[in-house]
Amino acid sequence: MRVAIHQPNLFPWIGYFLKIHLADVFIFHDNVSVNKRSYTHRCRIGTQKNSRNKDQFVSFRISEESKISDISYLQSQEDFTSLKVKLKNVYGHAPHFNELSDFINKHSTLFLSNQTLSKFNSQIIMTIAKELGLKTTFVFSSKLASTKKKDDHNLALVQWQNGTKYLSGLGAKEYQNECVFSEAGITLEYLHSLDYLQEFASKVPFDPSLSILDAVGILGWEKVKECITEFEIARFLKEV
């Protein structure tokens, strides 16, 4: 049983969905604090005429700096219209803009509903995962009553779901205490998504470090699904 853990980000990058695909259980880490620069309420996209500028963002308003599960998602009809205009300005000439636009319009009720940021992001992520045919089980860390911190907390989350493998991002290798997992009999795996992203960047005309919105507009749903589900995944999993 492979478990992955990640904050519920706003329209995350394609590698986020690779992580979901590889996991049997994906835990939304929604009871951690967020700040104004967090990717839980903004995401990077392309710029006008699809030139790439990574300082270009889709950004949503939030109520305060607090836990993701407690923050209110503050969007109005005007905000939703602005989002659609921005996406059209950026991707209007993209090969699969209509697929991207249809997806946003189809799920307009999500954008205009009164809910928490965690609930909105996770619903969008699960909706995209379904569109991509991913069968992973999703759960929320806020459902586990735990007072543990850092690696001990992540271990508790993995054990909560009866995990035998913990799939982590490569960036965590710099600060993660690997002994915590090995001593508990959990196999720690790192997803070398940088290699995965570079591999695809050399084959298809999009920047896979940008939001999944970029990938859908440039490639379309079927090609994005192929990128995630038909790639030689084993090359990018490294066990500790």
Task: Provide mean pLDDT across the span 70-99.
Answer: 88
The predicted model scores a pTM of 0.90
CB 96 within 8 A of CB 217: yes
Query: What rounded mean pLDDT belongs to the chain?
Result: 85
Contacts of residue 4, Cβ cutoff 8 Å, sequence gap at least 6: 19, 20, 22, 23, 25, 26, 27, 166, 167, 168
CB 75 within 8 A of CB 10: no
Q: Residue 46: what pLDDT? A: 80
Sketch the domain layout of the chain as residue ranges: 2-239
Q: What is the distance between the alpha carbons of residues 54 and 7, in angstroms, rounded to a whole number?
A: 21
- Per residue in 113-170, pLDDT tens? 778 888 999 999 999 999 999 999 999 999 987 777 888 999 999 999 999 999 998 8
Task: With a cut of 60, say whether residue 49 has pLDDT above it.
Answer: no
Which of 71-108 are b and which e, b meaning 16 or more Cβ less than 10 Å from the residue's Cβ?
bebebeeeebeebeeebeebbbebebbebbbebbeeee
Q: Residue 54: what pLDDT? A: 45
Split at pLDDT 50, 70, 90, the class of 235 is low
Indicate the length of the chain as a whole number.
240
Task: Provide mean pLDDT across the span 60-82.
Answer: 78
Task: With a cut of 90, say whether residue 50 has pLDDT above it.
Answer: no
Q: How many angstroms from the chain centroid is the CA of residue 139?
A: 14
